[in-house]
Structure 1
C-alpha cells in the first residue's frame, strides 16, 4: 500500500473555518508545506517538532516555483511519514492543487484531498452578500482577474441576473472595470472590493462601475494594498442595501 500525502484546504483565513478533518491531520503532520495566505496560527496545531515550510506564492513574489513545491512534497515524503500540503481556501479552486496531485501520483504515492472552505463563497457570506438571490440573480460565475486578456475572452457579454466573483483581480481592477463597461455592463452596476474576508482586518468598499471609471490612477495603486481581495460585481449587491441602512 503506497504512502499517503495530504492536500489540506486551510479555508479563507478565519482559523475557526479549518475543518475538523483538516485539524486532525495537521495534529499528526511531520512536515507541513504551507501557502502565503494560510493563517499562521493554524501551524500551532502541529506537533512541536513538526517541520514547517513556507512555500507561499504572492503576486511578483514567489518563494518557490510550483515545480519546486512539487519536488519538495515528494522529497519529504521519502523521509517523513505524514506530509501535509496546507493550501489557502480549498485545494482545487484556483489553488493548482491538481498539479500537485499529478506529481504525487507520478512519484508512486497516494494523494488524499481534504477539502477546505472556499473563499469564493465564504467571503461573500462574511460580508452578508448572497451569491444567489431570487429577486436579483439566478447564477454566479467565478473567474480569475490576474490575466486580463483571458478575462476579456471569457466575459463576452452582460447578463442582468448573473453575478461575477473575480479572484486575484485587485491588481488589475482598473482594466477589469473598463473591460466590463466595454462588454455592455451598465455604468450603474454595483461593484464591491472585499478585502481580507473572514479576518479581523476585513474591509468592504462599494462603488458603481461609473464611479470607478473616473477614479484617479492613485486610487488603483492604493487598492492593490487591499490584497487578498475578491471583486464582486452584480445587482445582488442591491440586496445588501437593507442591511447597510
Structure 2
C-alpha cells in the first residue's frame, strides 16, 4: 500500500450464537464466523463455534462475569470500530440474540456514530430455546397468549425499574433472564401485585447444553427449591401455566438420561 493511501472500511456483523447448543446457530451466523478476520466473542457462546473460524482469524475474548468484566462495554465498542476501520470483516459473537439483553443495540449505535457498515444476524434467544429444551412451550392455545422477556439483572446503581404490576396482571408467561440471584424478590413482587402463589414456575440451568438441569415448583416455592438444588446462572426462569406441560412433553433431559444410561451399560 502506498503511503497515504486510504484503507477500505471493513464491516461488522453482530451475530447471535444461540443459547448453547452449537447446532442452533443460524446458517447466516455460521457463514459470518467462517468469513471473519476478527471475532469478538462472549463467555456464554459455545466455543465449538470458534473452530469454524479461519486459521488466521483473530479471536478476542470479551466475556463478562458479574462484577468481573474481561472487557468493558465501551472498550468492546471501540474495538469493533478500530478493527472495522482497518478494513477487517468483524464478527461480534454474542450468546442468544444480540438484541435481547445482549447490548447489541448499544454496539449498533456506536457503529452508526462512526459510520461503520454493519448487519444484525439474529440468534435463537435463551428464553425460547431453554424452555423448549425443558419441554415448556412459552405459548399455548389453552394456557398462554402472551409472553414477556424480563431481565433479572439490575443495572449498576439503578433501582428496580420493572413494571411488576403489569407483569403480574397482564402477562400469561414470564421469562426472566439471569434472575436466579434475585429469584425470591422477583417472586415476591409478582405475588404482591396479584400473581397467584400457586402459579407454576421453572428454573432451567445451562439450557440446551449437556449440563442442562431443570427444577419446577410454584411461585411461592421455586426460590427455595432452586436454592436447595444450588441452581446457578446462566439460568432461565419461566413462570406461567405452560410450565405444567413439562410433565408430559419434556424430551431433552430424557434424551440425556437415556444416553447416559446407554453409556454406563456399554
Greater alpha carbon shift after TM alignment, 13-22 vs 74-83: 74-83
Query: 1 CA distance for matches of 2:167 and 2:211?
Result: 34
Instruction: Kindly state the Cα deviation for residue 242 of structure 1 after the two structures are TM-superposed.
Output: 2.8
Is 1:160–1:235's contact at 8 Å kept on the other side of the alignment?
Answer: no
Query: 1 CA distance for matches of 2:53 and 2:165?
Result: 42
Larger Rg: 2
- Distance change (3 Å), C-alpha of 1:161 and 1:99: closer
Instruction: Kindly state the Cα deviation for residue 80 of structure 1 after the two structures are TM-superposed.
Output: 4.5
- Size of the aligned set, in residue pairs, is 239
Query: 2 CA distance for matches of 1:2 and 1:160?
Result: 47
Say what the alpha-carbon RMSD is for the aligned residues: 2.2
- Distance change (3 Å), C-alpha of 1:243 and 1:24: closer
Residue 234 (str. 1) matches residue 234 (str. 2) = no
Is 1:173–1:220's contact at 8 Å kept on the other side of the alignment?
Answer: no
Determine which of 162, 166, 180 is the counterpart of 2:190.
180
Determine which of 29, 33, 44 is the counterpart of 2:51.
44
Is 2:29–2:121's contact at 8 Å kept on the other side of the alignment?
Answer: yes
In the other structure, the counterpart of 2:227 is 219
The two structures have a TM-score, normalised by structure 2, of 0.83
In structure 2, the gaps of 5 or more residues are 1-7, 251-266
- Distance change (3 Å), C-alpha of 1:160 and 1:206: farther
Instruction: Kindly state the Cα deviation for residue 112 of structure 1 after the two structures are TM-superposed.
Output: 1.0
Determine which of 198, 202, 212 is the counterpart of 1:192.
202
Q: Counterparts of 1:95-114 in structure 2 under 5 Å?
A: 95-114=102-121
Determine which of 110, 118, 122 is the counterpart of 2:125.
118
Instruction: Kindly state the Cα deviation for residue 159 of structure 1 after the two structures are TM-superposed.
Output: 3.6
Instruction: Kindly state the Cα deviation for residue 161 of structure 1 after the two structures are TM-superposed.
Output: 6.5
The two structures have a TM-score, normalised by structure 1, of 0.90
